[in-house]
Amino acid sequence: MIEGLKNDNKQRKLTYGMVGGGPGAFIGDVHRKAINLDGLASIAAGCFSRDKEKTLETGRALGIAEDRLYASYDEMAKKESQREDCIDFAVVVTPNATHYGAVKALLSHGIAVVCDKPFTFNTEEAAELTALAKRKNLLLAVTYTYTGYPAVKHARELVASGDIGEIRFVNAEYPQEWLATATESDENKQAAWRLDPSQSGKTNCTGDIGSHVENLVSYITGLRIKKLAARLDKIVEGRKLDDNSTIMVEYEGGAKGLYWASQIAIGFDNALRIRIFGSKGTIQWSQEDPNYLTVSYLDKPTMRLSRGRDAFASHAQSYSRIPSGHPEGYFEAFANIYKTYITALMKQKNGEKLTPEDLDFPTGDMGVDGVKFINACVESSDKDSTWIKF
């Protein structure tokens, strides 16, 4: 059970609404299933599509009352805020172009928000939304899923404790093959919007999965980027946005890094991996084998730590749900983020003080950092991979 998150049957279940996630959507259903895993919140409202009939179709399938199915996110934000039983938070899972408008409408009407990444198109928008949430004392999260794994949290504890010494170099990569051919022209809805600048923004690959690399490195190491140099490639002929990117990084304090994100890497499914090289040791973690963490030290045998079997730091261990040997994966990591967020929201509504452990979910500030990173990569690539200062 997650540290300090005992389910109190006297605490009412929270309710949420969703913007996006209608017929044919992938990530909306993932969010709903992840929230349902712990039973702390139930869906009560939605604007699932720009087509009201599709919203009604999805809402009926989810058992939502018709008067809480809305034609737009503006209507949902306004009408929900006027209800005595207003939703406690909203989840935004639309294509990138509508994140800013939807999140702003909801926050402006006093509704806490969880937004899919990348947060917004530009840093100014992201900073504005984060400031608005803080001003209204509303919890704001951006769903960088991979921070929810217990092994990732243990890696963070090892770095913070100085276990591997001073970080010298970070190597992180995220290769996929799903855009190795021009699938966007084959009625692939997911590919089509991601490669459309009007919906995805200035970048596809770097924003879609490169942002996960930046967030994972930042979360585990605590390193802040000083400057970067990036090359964003459009390898498949005819593409308007990148499908491969290589990024050199220098951090404050002198450590260096190299990131690679690709969606044209044949033979790779979802191979997010990070290696952190310190003066005393190295940490390695792979998303496709997420229950294990490899740690190497000078003059010692390399260790492969197993979630559930080997002793993790207490906070990291508290996110482990089942015994060792029973794999925990993507849904559990997503659910861990939501359980932490929802429980923090419960505590806030009860007037309780929130601790750093309560706030161990990807915040709006992390969303700002992600957008800043994405835009710096685009700027660098447009300037022939020149170094861009943060």
Per residue of the chain (390 residues), what is the pLDDT tens digit?
Answer: 344 344 444 567 999 999 999 987 889 999 999 999 999 999 999 999 999 999 999 999 999 999 999 999 999 999 999 999 999 999 999 999 999 999 999 999 999 999 999 999 999 999 999 999 999 999 999 999 999 999 999 999 999 999 999 999 999 999 999 999 998 887 788 888 888 889 888 999 999 999 999 999 999 999 999 999 999 999 999 999 999 999 999 999 999 999 999 999 999 999 999 999 999 999 999 999 999 999 999 989 999 999 999 989 999 999 999 999 999 999 999 999 999 999 999 999 999 999 999 999 999 999 999 999 999 999 999 999 999 998
Q: Which residues pair with 91 in a beta bridge?
A: 18, 114
Give the pLDDT score at 140: 98
- CA-based end-to-end distance of the chain: 39
Rounded Cα distance between 25 and 198, Å, is: 18
Query: Which phi and psi angles does 140 have, rounded to 5°?
Result: -125, 130
CATH 3.30.360.10 domain range(s) in the chain:
150-321+370-389
CATH superfamily of the domain spanning 150-321+370-389: Dihydrodipicolinate Reductase; domain 2 (3.30.360.10)
Rounded Cα distance between 390 and 376, Å, is: 8
Rounded Cα distance between 322 and 334, Å, is: 15
Instruction: Count Cα neighbours of 167 within 13 Å in the Cβ-side half-sphere.
Output: 27
Give the pLDDT score at 185: 80
Give the pLDDT score at 5: 41
Total residue count of the chain as it appears in this document: 390
CA distances from 362 to 87, 115, 158, 325, 365 (A): 21, 10, 19, 28, 8
CATH 3.40.50.720 domain range(s) in the chain:
14-146+336-359
Give the pLDDT score at 11: 61
Residue with tokens 């090892």: 158
Closest-CA residue to 286 (of 341, 327, 228): 327
Rounded Cα distance between 225 and 209, Å, is: 18
CATH class of 14-146+336-359: alpha beta
Sign of the torsion formed by the C-alpha atoms of 333, 336, 337 and 342: positive
The two beta strands, 281-286 and 244-251, are unpaired
As given in the structure block, the two tokens for residue 268 are: 């790779």
- Written in H, E and C, the secondary structure of the chain is CCCCCCCCCCCCCEEEEEECCCCCCCHHHHHHHHHHCCCCEEEEEEECCCCHHHHHHHHHHCCCCHHHECCCHHHHHHHHHCCCCCCCEEEECCCHHHHHHHHHHHHHCCCEEEEECCCCCCHHHHHHHHHHHHHCCCCEEEECHHHHCHHHHHHHHHHHCCCCCCEEEEEEEEECCCCCCCHHHCCCHHHHHHCCHHHHCCCCHHHHHHHHHHHHHHHHHCCCEEEEEEEEECCCCCCCCCCEEEEEEEECCCCEEEEEEECCCCCCCCCCEEEEEECCEEEEEECCCCCEEEEEECCCCCEEEECCCCCCCHHHHCCCCCCCCCCCCHHHHHHHHHHHHHHHHHHHHCCCCCCCCCCCCCEHHHHHHHHHHHHHHHHHHHCCCCCEEC
Give the pLDDT score at 26: 86
Contact 277, 255 (CB under 8 A): no
